Amino acid sequence: MMHHPTSLRRATGSLVTGVLLLLATATTTAASVCRRQNAAVQVAKIASVENIAVRSNGQILATNMNSPNLYSVNPVAKTSSTAVVVTGATGLSGIGEVAPDVFAVIGGSGKAIYKVDFSSGTPKTSLIKAIKEASNLNGLAVFDNDTVLVADAGKGNVYRFSVSTGDYSVVLTDPTMAPSGGIPFGIDGIKYKDGVVWYTNIFKNSFHKVPVDPVTAKATGAVVTLWTNLMGDDLCFGPNGKIYVATNGKNSVVEVDPAVGKPNQVASVTGSTSCAFGRTDKDKDVIYVGGSSGVYSQTIKL
């Protein structure tokens, strides 16, 4: 879930330019990627969107690693505004809904988890707990209605974190999660579904999955690598059972059949960082994509 080259943020807060683009072009080209659709439509202009989540009312929430503002996007009116300022956070990254209209979000310079609660109408934010030993928390996956999995890109591991108590522990670590490059940055996007954790390693241009225990989130089998030649940032599940991966410096979103593992391009978005599907009857076949210049949409043939 790193930014596009023009806005890539170090853990120290400085900007690194060109790194992702160079890595994306210097590594082996993912020649197997089939292109089916072209440029997505811009829904809202927001600088350097890091991650997105869709509320049940259809509104899109968007984060930025350089701002404590949690943005709200109306995809119908194509407008955006600040939904709430997360006090104490210098920037925001991974976000996920843990209960109806209640979201966990990474903030606090990549070391803390906050709760943002929209359930009463007026959004309220609170710090749950900081993981002091963390290096650079970035990706977040909802595990159950009280637990999230948080990827530490700086250390190359995954924490299991309780939203209600703040208790946490490392549950996953593997060489495929390890950081590399000049930043350094490793495991990036992460999602969980049906006993499997899916994740990317952005600078190793790789995408992986690992089976986990549905209670403890600890690995129950070996890591399986789906590819090692295509940059991957954050990812999302589609209503058709497919997985969608934002490719950041490759400026696209690819669709992956879990049974096959072959990526097929379905949308073109500059600096694509994240994705999420619509949740209303009118946009359930629409994928929303966070990118370097805002939030975009693309209808997917399901």
Long-range contacts, stretch 16-23, CB < 8 angstroms, 24+ apart: 16/182, 16/183, 19/181, 19/182, 19/183, 20/202, 20/231, 20/248, 20/249, 21/249, 23/181, 23/203, 23/205, 23/231, 23/249
Q: Is the CB of residue 158 less than 8 Å from the CB of residue 152? A: yes
Rg (CA), the chain: 17
**Model's pTM, two decimal places?**
0.90
pLDDT in tens, 202-259: 999 999 999 999 999 999 999 999 999 999 999 999 999 999 999 999 999 999 999 9
Per-residue pLDDT of 55-113, as tens digits, reads: 999 999 999 999 999 999 999 999 999 999 999 999 999 999 999 999 999 998 889 99
Q: Which residue has the tokens 């109408």?
A: 121
Distances from the Cα of 265 to the Cα of 30, 32, 37, 114, 230, angstroms: 11, 10, 7, 34, 12
CA distance 220 to 73: 39
Fold for 5-299, please state it. Answer: Neuraminidase (2.120.10)
Burial of residue 42 (number of CB atoms within 10 Å: 0-12, 13-18, 19+): middle
Domain spans of the chain, in order of start: 5-299
